[in-house]
Amino acid sequence: MTISSKVSICVPTCNRPELIVECLDSCLAQTHTNIEILIGDDSSDTRTQRLIEARYAHDARIRYVKNEPPLGQARNVASLFARASGEKISLIHDDDYFAKDGIESLLALWQSHPQLEVAFADQYEIDAQGHVDLSKSDALNANFHRIEPAQGMQQQPGRTGLVQMFPNNGWMANADLVKRIGYRDDVGMCCDYVFGSELCLAASQVYYLHRYVSYYRKTDASISRSTRGSTFAASLTAFEFVSGLSLDASLEPARKLALRRLAPIVVSLYAKNDAPWAALRVALAHLYAYGYGRDARLYYHLSLIARAFVSMRWRGLPPSAPKFP
């Protein structure tokens, strides 16, 4: 029976031994006990390795690998998927953790929907100390279209990925589908979003459960500070990915909704990185993202573009040679 299915919980980790214990203990405490916990460690030292050996050495459910050399985020996750032996796969990052019945709540959906391929639910938002903020949790889920009226089988599975309704972790899916989609290492910090989009686009049945099943830790470490605002920003990669997708006409509104969120961010990135022409082209092509002029951000971004032109001329840089591709 599906309810007894083995679930492979994949935990990529990198230099966070102070947080991974809470993550792993939440996995081991699941009310659904037929699990394996796969850990891929990209850490630059042996602190996590020593911790795992000392604390979990006698628990056969824990399957730990130290990646030497480190694989990087996408290839680390892909290696975990490849090692998974369960019928279902779930992903949880090392600074996040599951509610005690999180796995059981998701897995139970296959009882009512045997052809189900992907399931996800709500995430609590917690701070660095692990404190839950219910109002921020509600806002987090609402911002990504995870609200009570949306609960159930999704009429357009692909839409859930495109509009980022599908979360970065705390989900569950059939192992064969997960392994077929895989994690791409050519999209940088955008690999979570690209995976979620491609997974949902490939699935025929995706279910959203309006229930908290996991905890998402909002810290500086959970967001890439090294790439934000640069030519490697995840938002730019996501924009290029969504813009370049070949989609059925029925999914064009979902693409537009995704680009409504992404386009203004990309305009700002281009303007701040000596690519004013590129910024202007994106802004004019996506005026709907600015309410066709009703959004004050449009005029702020136009001012950024103008300043970029002036600055580049002052520094003797040709504005026709942007740094961005």
Domains by residue range for the chain, with CATH: 2-222 (3.90.550.10), 234-314 (no CATH)
225, pLDDT greater than 60: no
- Rounded Cα distance, 285 and 127, in Å: 38
Structure confidence at residue 324 as a pLDDT band (50, 70, 90): very low
Is 322 a residue whose pLDDT tops 80? no
Look at residue 59 and tell me whether its pLDDT is greater than 50.
yes
Percent of the residues in the chain that have a pLDDT greater than 70, as a whole number: 93
Judged against a pLDDT cut of 70, whether residue 253 lies above it is answered with yes
- The pLDDT, as a whole number, for residue 241 is 97
| Average per-residue pLDDT for the chain | 93
* pLDDT tens sequence across 159-217: 999 999 999 999 999 999 999 999 999 999 999 999 999 999 999 999 999 999 999 99
Judged by DSSP in three states, 62 sits in strand
Q: How far is CA 222 from CA 95, 162, 218, 294, in A?
A: 8, 21, 6, 33
- pLDDT tens string 259-295: 999 999 999 999 999 899 999 999 999 999 999 999 9
pLDDT at 13 over 60: yes
Query: Residue type for 25, please?
Result: D
- The pLDDT-based confidence of 218 (bands split at 50, 70, 90) is confident
What's the pLDDT score for residue 315?
83
Q: What pLDDT, on the 0 to 100 scale, is given for residue 223?
A: 47
Return the half-sphere exposure (C-beta side, CA atoms, 13 A cut-off) of residue 198.
18
Determine the straight-line distance between the first and last CA of the chain, rounded to whole angstroms.
51
**Would you say 128 and 96 are in contact if contact means Cβ atoms under 8 Å apart?**
no
